[in-house]
Amino acid sequence: MVYSLETPVQIDNLDLDELNQRFEGAHPREILAWCVANIPTKFVQTSAFNVDDLVITDILYRELKPKKPVPVMFLDTLHHFPQTRELVEKAIKLYNLDLRTYKVPDVGSREAFAGAYGDALWDRDIQKFHYVTKIEPLQRGLAELQAVAWITGRRRDQAVTRANMPIFEHDIKHRIKVNPIAAWTRKESWVYVAEHKMIYNPLHDQGYPSIGDEPITTKVADGEDERAGRWRGTGKTECGIHI
């Protein structure tokens, strides 16, 4: 099924409470189809290429196929696992992604990053590390793309801090933030992957249910929270881009 944009809704007039009531319990495909058909073309998916992000990309690019592909924004922190970088390249070829990559300005490697910010900035100042590698590039990217709405791959069952997350919300700039798989469980995402024989990061099979930057992502033991391996020992539950 190919979706084209209809007369776009007025973003400022959207009743998010009504939308959340309407789409609670809906399949992510229905949520994304509504977005593609109703939100103006300045609509972006943000992706770290975790399995949940790829589920959304698969729905957008393989199932919905809007005439104007939804840009996929990737924050290149320069510290991703090699497996993540390889997956990004596979996804570009498989889906013919409209990929938009944003990173720290004027820094092109881990070595250059260390030269600019010192060794292991994440150990010395995790807040600054996340600001320069994620928060600033995200906000710059959304502004450059003139995004009025953006998609995340967050789920309510990922962490207690996300338990009450709505499907539709506003971000700090009053853009629409869409969480189409908010109500899904980890199991439902993996069922989708199996049904559609999707590609995914092999690290997911090696004890990494949630994959971030290599220096600060560890394996998760049985019984631990899904995101326990992110920023272990720092007390952080979010990197800052969703606050």
For residue range 84-133, what is the model confidence (pLDDT) as tens digits?
A: 999 999 999 999 999 999 999 999 999 999 999 999 999 999 999 999 99
Give percent of the chain with pLDDT exceeding 70: 88
Residue 41 pLDDT class (50, 70, 90 cuts):
confident
Q: In the chain, how many domains are there?
A: 1
Does 121 reside within a domain? yes
Residue 225 pLDDT class (50, 70, 90 cuts):
confident
Does 238 reside within a domain? no
pLDDT of residue 1: 44
Q: Which domain holds residue 135?
A: 11-216
Kindly tell me if the per-residue pLDDT of 2 is higher than 50: no
Residue 162 pLDDT class (50, 70, 90 cuts):
confident
Q: Are 142 and 150 within 8 A, CB to CB? A: yes
Q: Tell me which DSSP letter residue 161 carries.
A: G
Does 152 reside within a domain? yes
**CATH code assigned at 204:** 3.40.50.620
Measured in whole angstroms, the distance separating CA 112 from the mean position of its chain's CA atoms is 26
pLDDT of residue 235: 59
Residue 13 pLDDT class (50, 70, 90 cuts):
confident
Question: Rounded distance, CA 77 to CA 186, Å?
Answer: 25
pLDDT of residue 223: 74
Least confident residue range of 85-89, 137-141, 232-236 = 232-236
Kindly tell me if the per-residue pLDDT of 134 is higher than 90: yes
- DSSP run (H or E) holding 46: strand 43-46
Does 77 reside within a domain? yes
Does 221 reside within a domain? no
176-178 vs 43-46, strand pairing mode: unpaired
Of 54, 178, 239, 241, the catalytic one is 239
25 or 222, greater pLDDT: 25
Does 37 reside within a domain? yes
Q: Which residues contact 56 (CB under 8 A, 6 or more apart)?
A: 28, 32, 45, 47, 151, 153, 180, 181
Does 237 reside within a domain? no
Does 106 reside within a domain? yes
Longest dimension (CA), the chain: 51
Backbone torsions φ then ψ of 171, nearest 5 degrees: -95, -175
Report the alpha-carbon angle 79-55-143, nearest 5: 60
pLDDT of residue 51: 96
Active site residue 239: yes
